Amino acid sequence: MTVRIAVLDDYQGVARQHADWDSLPAEVTFFHDALTGHDELVSRLEPFDVVALMRERTPMPRELLAALPRLRLLVTTGMRNAAVDVEAAGELGITVCGTGGPDSPGFAATAELTWGLVLSLVRDIPAEDRQVREGGWQRSVGVGLGGRALGLVGLGNLGGQVAAIARTFGMRVLAWSPNLTAEAARTAGAERVDKAELFASADVISVHMVLSERSRGLVSADDLARMKPTAYLVNTSRGPIVDEQALRTALHEGRIAGAGIDVFATEPLPQDHPWRSTPRTVLTPHLGYVTEETYATFYPETVEDIRAFLDGDPIRVIS
């Protein structure tokens, strides 16, 4: 029987060119849209033995996995995917493998995008670009970063990369997370402060936490209310870490200067989603990890995982 592989959520239509899929003794189908409905996904995935996932674009809960008796292997890009019920996969006899990627040391793509959003906000770059194209000239007065305070919610690998860049701008770096120690903060070139002080003192706040039940809603309405009216918030981690409704309200009411958002609780955003009409924002469609360099790891290692599994010797096994 022919092995059938589904490569999901290839939004840009580039998965084929980034790896040697033809080297696999299998039939490979690439999907470029995003499905989230249970029945739609079951109908699409029933014929496949292997499903390749791009990060958390398609959720794989227990109910969906149980409805796919032919499925033998899931490969996710990265070694961590909160949208996959790994425990259920193991119970159902489905192997889950991963790849290297943006969670690994040396991958700076998300940190780079973070600063792209920060600079776009403080210098009003998107609006000024529109002004020039529409015949205008110099609409805004920007904000310099030197001497200002960056507040990091999370100081792991990505937060540390963002902190290093902040120091080149001459910024003071504050940091907080539930388990962060003063010594660890100093090692990363930051000052550990409590959560309330971080939100009250920082001129730019950037979120760098892993989404979990503990971190869901971690940035609350009360935290946002402590921010200066001149401060900005950037989220390149996961949408649900921030109370999105409270953030949109703060932006509509002008209680903070702006927000740069790359991640959303619902992705892709529906056409009529309120984020699309929220003022004082720079919005990007979850581009943090989307670079040529990252895909050059993701897709070839996905093919390696599939080949090893078909050879009976799985690698990079998560479950």
Catalytic residue among 267, 280, 307, 316: 267
Q: How far is CA 207 from CA 22, 85, 175, 211, in A?
A: 40, 25, 10, 11
The pLDDT, as a whole number, for residue 297 is: 95
- Closest listed residue to residue 144, CA positions, set 116, 112, 121: 121
Predicted TM-score (pTM) of the model is 0.94
All structural domains of the chain = 4-103+291-310 (3.40.50.720), 109-283 (3.40.50.720)
Catalytic residue among 192, 208, 238, 248: 238
Q: Please give the Cα distance from 61 to 39 (Å, whole number).
A: 13
- Closest listed residue to residue 150, CA positions, set 114, 98, 97: 114
- Say whether the peptide bond before residue 268 is cis (omega within 30 degrees of 0): yes
The pLDDT, as a whole number, for residue 84 is: 97
For the chain, 319 residues long, give each residue's pLDDT as a single digit of tens. Answer: 899 999 999 999 999 999 999 999 999 999 999 998 999 999 999 999 999 999 999 999 999 999 999 999 999 999 999 999 999 999 999 999 999 976 665 579 999 999 999 999 999 999 999 999 999 999 999 999 999 999 999 999 999 999 999 999 999 999 999 999 999 999 999 999 999 999 999 999 999 999 999 999 999 999 999 999 999 999 999 999 999 999 999 999 999 999 999 999 999 999 999 999 999 999 999 999 999 999 999 999 999 999 999 999 999 999 9
Catalytic residue among 18, 148, 192, 286: 286
Annotate 164-196 with b (16+ C-beta within 10 A) or e (fewer).
Answer: ebbeeeebbbbbbbeebeeebbeebebbbbebe
User: Phi and psi of 175, rounded to 5°?
Assistant: -145, 150
Active site residue 286: yes
Q: Please give the Cα distance from 67 to 309 (Å, whole number).
A: 22
Q: Please give the Cα distance from 275 to 153 (Å, whole number).
A: 22
